[in-house]
Amino acid sequence: ALVRREDYLAPTHWIRGVDLTFELEGHKTLVISRLQVEPNPERAGEALRLDGEDIVLTRVLVNGESVSFRFEAGQLVLDKLPAEPFALEIRNTCAPEKNTQLSGLYTSGGNFFTQCEAQGFRRITYFLDRPDVMSVYRVTLRADARAFPVLLSNGNLVEQGTLENGRHYAVWSDPHPKPSYLFALVAGNLVCREQKIRARSGRDHLLQVYVRAGDLEKTEHAMNSLIASVAWDEARFGLSLDLERFMIVAVSDFNMGAMENKGLNIFNTKFVLANPATATDIDFGNVEAVVGHEYFHNWTGNRITCRDWFQLSLKEGLTVYRDQEFSQDMAGEASARAVKRIEDVRQLRQIQFVEDAGPMAHPVRPDSYQAIDNFYTATVYEKGAEVVRMMATLVGRAGFRAGMDLYFARHDGQAVTCDDFAQAIADANPGSALATRLDGFKRWYSQSGTPRLQATSHFDAEAGTFTLTLSQSALPSPGQPVKQAFVIPVAVGLVGRDGRALALQLEGEAPSGDTERVLVLDTERQTFVFTGLTGLDGVPVPSLLRGFSAPVVLDWTAADEQLLTLLAHDSDAFNRWEAGQRLALDRMLQALRGEQPVALDAALAGALRAVLDEPTLDAAFKELVLTLPSEAYVAERLAESGQAVDPQRIHAVREGLRAELARQLQPQWEAAWAAHGDTGGYRPDALGAGRRALANQALHMLVLQSVASGDAAWPGRAYQRVKDASNMTDRLGALSALVQAHHPLAEPALAHFHALFRGEALVIDKWFTLQALACEHEGRVFERIRALAGHADFTLRNPNRARSLLMAMTQNPAAFHRGDGAGYAFWSAQVLAIDPINPQLASRLARALDRWRALAEPLRAAAQAAIERVAAHPDLSPDTREIVTRALAD
């Protein structure tokens, strides 16, 4: 059924207290729920309708007496209830071992775990399963003592002891009222790393990370990240840990990344476990980011939560913004901060922009949904974070902090809306660029689609004026044929032809000496005039949208020489990188339009050589500059300009340019390898990670070039490194270099790697992914993927493993979008196979063909047929049904 934001009604009843008892058994768990219910006077006399799913009711008592009840539309309905507060007791059972959806109470590796966001609690017991019903919980867990020595729930442990028949129990009490989606329990055979800390506030806290026995030596980084998160939130936002005990538990079967349950975060093992032998630098960075993210939810999400699920970005956008800032602060130096920003923007453009242009486009605050789990999207998370970032830009760093303070002063303990958040930030900054345009700004919450920002400029050397005209437009998106103007903060600078940063003085303003300004475009079109620019040597180059100050497509016609100036000199590292990407992208687009074969011309090759040769630049930054825009990004640029997308041609063009990079820059690659190929002892810091990234990129290039030239030395070195590397980043990089180049040594290297890590699930996932992402060559990669689906280690029941092969395949355009449609046929079969097991996982995979309408024929027709094949299935889950229905709607 379609749920609409405008239909929101406060609940008929409040549930103030929840007392749960679990008699844990894998095949059948008994749940006794004792609720303190209070009718909401606003909705006096209405029936109480409790959500429930896949559970069996055994008894209902009101104030200790049995009552009549009925089931309607999947809900348990109690019609005749007291008008005063009353006690409601419900008994029901559920079957954790049969719960393959991994929502609610389920087992993984013989242990019990829960996942309740968004609507899993109703799969545990009947409840008002909505985020605006907040209650204080007391939880009793009873289970076999030998099999389940550890019994955890939210809050504080208040009692434990032994029972008959080898069972034991624990009682947990959480003093903070919370919505049901933040409830959690864990029962199992686990060990933990723990650490006591004294916070700045002077309070003592116990931090714990629970894992399976063999994984304890992979928990140090997660613990360090947690300690750093606690310190960061105190220092940056004045927010302290409000619990005596904070626990993280790792589980290997998990639908998403992690979950911020109050005091008991549950994590996908992928985002907890890390040691140098099994995890890459990227994994270390992800662990830090996700540990931070879930910890920061304790305030932005838990203390202040969402009134309804349409407000999801209230907590997710804000918390992503906070984790991005945390990672930047942890990276330290300005250049490392810029690297993190570039990586975040790359993700945003590759995933969120594509989403915003397709059938699943929705506002940051959606207006309707069929399955809320489908709206845990890049738009709600990443674009939502950009919206928060723009607010911070408009009110300044101190202003944003004041706004956050006001937000907590007003709303701590409440379930609120995105409007409440924006209002608090604006009210704390009266007169600011945000407060004076708040209504217009909030269109970022209500309008979907990525706006296009056009920029043109004119320089009058004699008058010393630089005139910049900015205008905006937005294409229609589902349900939104016309858009109103967005409020777009545009950070700008001017770079002289000699590379100097010029002082910016707006017409009519006193000179300030500032070399960067944030212009605010809040209408269709606006002109800004900078003055005092006399005596310059040549036309200055505008550096627009610095730091990616707004989530828009920048449409600025730039000459190569302007971009080369920015690439060489811009003081804004983001735009320096962006200039290099534009230069490469323009060449690929020219080739794709058939204007000329793809070539690495002397000017661009020279500029890229200069970047690699520049001793003062970070290795991490060099690696980003030298990475060509991805095939997905190129495809989206084509689609946006109305051209049909042929992934095979994009692949060929990009590979052609990559081969030229390998060939023409060979001395630079050799030098990079010599400088960074051995980073010494492993430390997962930004500097070392950057050096390893550049070394691995160099190795890829050198192996690629060796294959072309028939030289055996570099493949031999890579093979040796697969065997004797001292960390996973180097080992995987070397393996990838051989696999990407389709070198004969790739096969023995893959076999060696698999044998080394047979028992390490997360590493075997990498082994699958690496093969699924290999550079497609004569259809061999796709054939390999299809064969790997039958490998003894492959299973659809473990989400990480399923994703490691199948999601990876959909991210390999040339392998997936085959001319004969075999990729699509395989995809539809996998979606249909997963859907009855795990709808959330199936519906994510189902989104892989969202952009089918942009494809060139015959791919377009083949993709449509594949989606129709899925849609024709009568018993699809609501999750997958929503995705394919939207994909096929016109």
> In whole angstroms, how close is the CB of 320 to ligand ARG at the nearest point?
8
Q: How far is the CB of 381 from Zn ion (least distance, A)?
A: 7
The smaller minimum CB distance to ligand ARG, of residues 295 and 577, is found at 295
In the complex with Zn ion, the residue whose CB is nearer, 292 or 540, is: 292
- Asked if residue 842 binds ligand ARG (CB under 6 A), the reply is no
Q: Which helix (H) or strand (E) holds 399?
A: helix 384-411
Residue 765 binds ligand ARG, judged by CB under 6 A: no
Pair of tokens at residue 172: 């947990």
- The DSSP secondary structure of 32-92, one letter per residue, reads EEEEEEEE-GGGTTPPEEEE--S-EEEEEEETTEE---EEETTEEEE-S--SS-EEEEEEE
> Could you say which residues in the range 295-334 bind ligand ARG, by CB under 6 A?
316
Task: Determine how many CB atoms are found less than 10 A away from the CB of residue 521.
Answer: 22
User: Of 118 and 854, which has the nearer Cβ to Zn ion?
Assistant: 118
Give the whole-angstrom CA distance, residue 620 versus residue 669: 14
Minimum distance from residue 405 beta carbon to Zn ion (Å): 22
Helix axes 686-709, 281-296, angle to 10 degrees: 140
* Count of C-beta atoms within a 10 Å radius of residue 547: 18
Of these partners, Zn ion, ligand ARG, none, which one is at the site of residue 258 (CB under 5 to 8 Å by kind)?
A: ligand ARG
Using CB under 6 A as the binding rule, whether residue 260 contacts ligand ARG is answered as yes
Structure tokens at 826: 């395989």
Give yes or no for a contact between 555 and 545, defined as CB atoms under 8 angstroms apart.
Answer: no
Give the C-alpha separation, 266 to 294, whole Å: 9
Of 404 and 832, the one with the shorter C-beta distance to Zn ion is 404
Task: Report the candidate in 698, 603, 600, 588 with the shortest Cα–Cα distance to residue 633.
Answer: 588
- Our finding on whether 879 is near ligand ARG (CB under 6 A) is no
Q: What are phi and psi of 258, to 5 degrees?
A: -170, 175
Q: Who's near 25: CB < 8 A, 6+ residues apart?
A: none
Task: Please identify, using beta-carbon distances, which residue of 322 and 743 lies nearer to Zn ion.
Answer: 322
Residue 623 annotated in active site: no
Distance CA 243, CA 263 (A): 7
**Residue placing its CB nearer to Zn ion in the complex, 121 or 295:** 295
Number of residues that bind ligand ARG (CB under 6 A): 13
> Smallest gap, in angstroms, from Cβ of residue 260 to ligand ARG?
5
CB of 841 to ligand ARG, least distance (A): 10
CA distance 876 to 882: 9
Taking residues 265 to 294 in sequence order and writing x for each that binds ligand ARG by CB under 6 A, - otherwise, the string is ----------------------------xx
Residue 841: count of CB within 10 angstroms of its CB: 26
Task: Output the smallest distance, CB 418 to Zn ion, in A.
Answer: 15
Q: What is the DSSP string of 157-194?
A: EEEEEE-STTEEEEEEEEEEEE-GGG--EEEES-EEEE
Which of 765, 771, 773, 812 has the alpha carbon at shortest distance from 793? 765
Which of 140-148, 153-161, 255-263, 727-735 is the region at the interface with ligand ARG (rule: CB under 6 A)? Answer: 255-263
From the number of C-beta atoms within 10 Å of its C-beta (0-12, 13-18, 19+), residue 514 rates as exposed
Residue 795 exposure: Cα atoms within 13 Å on the Cβ side: 12
Which segment (258-266, 388-396, 648-656, 853-861) binds ligand ARG by CB under 6 A? 258-266
Chosen from ligand ARG, Zn ion, none, partner binding at 718 (C-beta under 5 to 8 Å by type): none
Q: What is the x/- site pattern for ligand ARG, positions 777-806, by CB under 6 A?
A: ------------------------------
In angstroms, give the least distance from the CB of 114 to ligand ARG: 11
Q: With binding defined as CB under 6 A, does residue 3 bind ligand ARG?
A: no
Contacting residue, 373, 623, 730, 850, with ligand ARG by CB under 6 A: 373
Which is closer to ligand ARG, CB of 85 or CB of 257?
Answer: 257
Q: Which residues bind Zn ion (CB under 5 A)?
A: 316, 319
DSSP string, 787-803: HHTTSTT--SSSHHHHH
Region near ligand ARG per CB under 6 A, out of 257-265, 389-397, 414-422, 802-810: 257-265
Q: How many CA atoms lie within 13 A of 175 on its CB side?
A: 7
Decide if residue 259 touches ligand ARG (CB under 6 A).
yes
Q: Which one of Zn ion, ligand ARG, none is in contact with 306 (Cβ closer than 5 to 8 A by kind)?
A: none
Instruction: State the nearest-atom distance from the C-beta of 255 to ligand ARG, in Å.
Output: 5
CB of 376 to ligand ARG, least distance (A): 4
655 binds ligand ARG (CB under 6 A): no
- What residues are paired with 228 via a beta bridge? none
Contact flag: residue 117 with ligand ARG (CB under 6 A) = yes
Q: Which entry of Zn ion, ligand ARG, none binds 273, CB below 5 to 8 A by partner kind?
A: none
Looking at 219, 255, 417, 549, which residue binds ligand ARG (CB under 6 A)?
A: 255
Q: Which of 169, 309, 376, 530 binds ligand ARG (CB under 6 A)?
A: 376
Cα 428 from Cα 863, distance rounded (Å):
50
- DSSP three-state, residue 448: coil
Residue 92, contacted partner among ligand ARG, Zn ion, none, CB below 5-8 A by kind: none
Amino acid, single-letter form, for residue 146 = R
Which is nearer to ligand ARG, 272 or 545 (by Cβ)? 272
CB 109 to Zn ion: min, Å: 25
- Whose tokens are 């992928």? That residue is 270
Between 320 and 749, name the residue whose CB sits nearer to Zn ion.
320
Q: Does 258 bind ligand ARG (CB under 6 A)?
A: yes
Residue number of the CB closest to ligand ARG reads 376
32 near 61, Cβ under 8 Å? no
Nearer to ligand ARG, 253 or 572 (CB): 253
Give whichever of 129 and 373 is closer to ligand ARG, judged by the CB atom.
373
| First CA to last CA distance, the chain | 20
Among candidates 673, 690, 738, which has minimal Cα distance to 712? 738
Catalytic residue among 260, 288, 294, 655: 294
Which among Zn ion, ligand ARG, none contacts residue 395 (Cβ within 5 to 8 A by kind)?
Answer: none
- The radius of gyration of the chain's CA atoms, rounded to the nearest angstrom, is 28
Residue 440 — φ and ψ, nearest 5°? -65, -40
What's the closest the beta carbon of residue 316 comes to ligand ARG, in angstroms? 6
Query: Which segment (32-40, 251-259, 635-643, 691-699) binds ligand ARG by CB under 6 A?
Result: 251-259
In total, the chain counts a number of residues equal to 890
Judged by CB under 6 A, the stretch of 62-70, 253-261, 750-758, 780-788 that binds ligand ARG is: 253-261
Q: Between 283 and 316, name the residue whose CB sits nearer to Zn ion.
A: 316
Enter the DSSP assignment of 284.
Answer: H
Give catalytic residue positions.
294
Interacting residue ranges for ligand ARG, rule: CB under 6 A: 117-118, 255-256, 258-260, 293-294, 316, 373, 376, 840
